[in-house]
């Protein structure tokens, strides 16, 4: 039997059925009229934001990285909870505009922004996090042509990375940001262009569970920001310190020590050098805010035995939950937290694999896990499905189409 990842805190059962948003998942499946579906628990998201706010210093604003989950009702909920949004494409700009979010609190990072995307961003007054000198030149020209002063920050490719990070985004040669040593020259160009100078964006990695490592990276980001501001001879209006806060997905993972991270950050902010005293700071988080609040529900359509192994074949799969199948940036496949939702809390009776309905051996949601005996008609749950689930999976693969999503 292979271990399953830890089920996030805050979930329980009602009459033996997993509950989300205070109701059994069978209720939501009936209301949706179909499976598979994603359920996002609004209350868990609110609680997470409250925990964060009480741990991190007031001076640090909280931004939501839209790419983690752009479901419009969820964005509307986030609008009342966070201070700003980070987007990574023209498509996400349309989503935040349609959601009626305040565009002056939106920043746009990401390599390969096309001219049409730069133009849409400049017209809407979002801050562009410039990824290169070439992108800067195009933004200046578009601003001139439109007669609009662009709001420009520089994304710095830091000379360090986030230790223990699931996805390294800084350190060495990268397609993201401008190498630190070339930043001062670009700052001078931005200021000379007459653009509104918005400061730095320093993002060093994602999905780290070690608070000390994140704190260390934040400290390095602050030092780098101070050094670059001094070398550029400008005041820094704003500095985005990145994110990196992870959630436990796999067996043995433990939750981040948030109070410790908050303490470390507060201490760093106490001792700021003069060039950073007036700066506003923010952190940008995706999965930490919404990941654990999401559950993916699918229905068992077949129960099969092959060479003595049990396969629970569901109507879901990697086309909705690519990451749980181990095919989204993981080297070794490990099990996400999962359960038989309609026998929640029941004793383990057998070893079984939960698979999807796609005709590929990659389509596995749980490999040889221990579960209560489940049959056709039962619902299964994959946890940690609130971030990089629906939006980061190939929903059209094999003509399957997207799963329903509900904020409950």
Give yes or no for residue 353 binding ligand PLP (CB under 6 A).
no
| 139 belongs to the binding site for ligand PLP (CB under 6 A) | no
CB atoms within 10 A of CB 181: 11
Smallest distance, Å, CB 199 to ligand PLP? 15
Q: How far apart are CA 374 and CA 343, in angstroms?
A: 8
Q: Does 284 bind ligand PLP (CB under 6 A)?
A: yes
**Residue 29 found at the interface with ligand PLP (CB under 6 A):** no
Q: 4 or 202: whose CB is closer to ligand PLP? A: 202
Residue 6 DSSP symbol: P
CB of 85 to ligand PLP, least distance (A): 11
- The string of DSSP codes covering 342-383 is GGTTPPP-EEEEEE-SSSSTT-EEEEEEEE----TT-EEEES
Binding mask 64-83 for ligand PLP (x = CB under 6 A): -x-xx---------------
Residue count, binding to ligand PLP (CB under 6 A): 15
Residue closer to ligand PLP, measured from CB, 67 or 264: 67
Q: Which residue has the tokens 């505009």?
A: 97
Q: Report the length, in residues, of the chain.
A: 408
The closest residue (CB) to ligand PLP is: 286
β-strands 151-157, 178-179 pairing: parallel
Calpha distance 85→109 (Å, rounded): 11
Q: Is 399 left (phi over 0), alpha (psi -120 to 50) or beta?
A: left
Residue 256 within binding range of ligand PLP, rule CB under 6 A? no
Q: Choose the binding region for ligand PLP from 63-71, 136-144, 177-185, 188-196 (rule: CB under 6 A).
A: 63-71
Piece of 33-41, 181-189, 285-293, 298-306 that binds ligand PLP (CB under 6 A): 285-293
Q: Restricting to residues 369-408, which ones interact with ligand PLP according to CB under 6 A?
A: 387
**Residues marked as catalytic:** 359
User: Is 342 a binder of ligand PLP (CB under 6 A)?
Assistant: no
- Please pick, from the candidates 70, 286, 317, 369, the single residue that binds ligand PLP as defined by CB under 6 A: 286
d(CA 162, CA 216): 8
Please identify, using beta-carbon distances, which residue of 90 and 369 lies nearer to ligand PLP: 90
Q: Does 92 bind ligand PLP (CB under 6 A)?
A: no
- The 3-class SS string of 312-337 reads EEECCCCCCCCHHHCCCCCCCCCCCC
- Site residues (CB under 6 A) for ligand PLP, limited to 188-247: 203, 206-207, 243
CB of 257 to ligand PLP, least distance (A): 17
C-alpha span between 137 and 4 (Å, rounded): 50
Least Å from the CB of residue 374 to ligand PLP: 31
Is 288 a residue that touches ligand PLP (CB under 6 A)?
yes
Q: Is the peptide bond before 50 cis (omega within 30 degrees of 0)?
A: no
| Whole-number CA gyration radius for the chain | 22
The minimum distance between CB 176 and ligand PLP, in angstroms, equals 8
CA–CA separation, 248 vs 58, rounded Å?
A: 26
By CB under 6 A, name the binding residues for ligand PLP. Answer: 65, 67-68, 86, 109, 203, 206-207, 243, 284-288, 387
């Amino acid at each position: 039997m292979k271990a399953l990842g830890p089920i996030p805190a805050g979930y329980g059962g009602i009459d033996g059925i997993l509950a989300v948003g205070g109701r059994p998942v069978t209720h939501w499946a009936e209301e949706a009229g179909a499976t598979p579906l994603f359920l996002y628990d609004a209350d868990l998201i609110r609680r997470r934001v409250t925990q964060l706010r009480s741990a991190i210093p007031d001076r640090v604003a909280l931004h939501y990285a839209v790419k983690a989950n752009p479901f419009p009702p969820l964005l509307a909920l986030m609008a009342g909870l966070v201070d700003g949004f980070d987007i990574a494409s023209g498509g996400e700009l349309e989503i935040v505009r349609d959601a009626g979010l305040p565009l002056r609190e939106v920043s746009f990072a990401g390599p390969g922004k096309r001219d049409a995307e730069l133009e849409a961003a400049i017209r809407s007054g979002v801050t562009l996090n410039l990824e290169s000198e070439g992108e800067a030149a195009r933004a200046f020209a578009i601003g001139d042509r439109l007669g609009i002063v662009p709001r420009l920050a520089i994304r710095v490719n830091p000379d360090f990375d986030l230790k223990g990070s699931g996805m390294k985004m800084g350190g060495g040669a990268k397609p993201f940001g401008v190498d630190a040593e070339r930043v001062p020259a670009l700052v001078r160009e931005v200021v000379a262009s007459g653009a509104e100078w918005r400061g730095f964006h320093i993002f060093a990695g994602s999905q780290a569970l070690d608070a000390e490592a994140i704190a260390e990276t934040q400290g390095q980001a602050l030092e780098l920001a101070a050094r670059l501001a001094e070398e550029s001879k400008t005041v820094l209006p704003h500095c985005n310190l990145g994110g990196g806060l992870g959630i436990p997905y796999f067996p043995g993972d433990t939750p981040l020590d948030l109070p410790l991270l908050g303490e470390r950050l507060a201490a760093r902010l106490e001792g700021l050098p003069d060039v950073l005293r007036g700066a506003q700071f923010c952190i940008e988080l995706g999965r930490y805010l919404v990941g654990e609040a999401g559950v993916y529900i699918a229905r068992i359509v077949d129960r099969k035995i092959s060479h003595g192994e049990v396969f629970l074949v569901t109507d879901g799969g990697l086309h909705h939950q690519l990451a749980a199948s181990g095919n989204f940036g993981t080297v070794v496949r490990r099990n996400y937290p999962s359960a038989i939702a309609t026998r929640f809390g029941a004793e383990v009776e057998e070893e079984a694999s939960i698979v999807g309905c796609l005709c590929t051996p990659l389509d596995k949601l749980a490999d040889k896990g221990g579960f209560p005996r489940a049959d056709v008609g039962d619902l299964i749950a994959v946890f940690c499905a609130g971030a990089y689930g629906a939006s980061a999976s190939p929903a059209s693969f094999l003509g399957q189409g997207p799963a329903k999503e509900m904020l409950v």
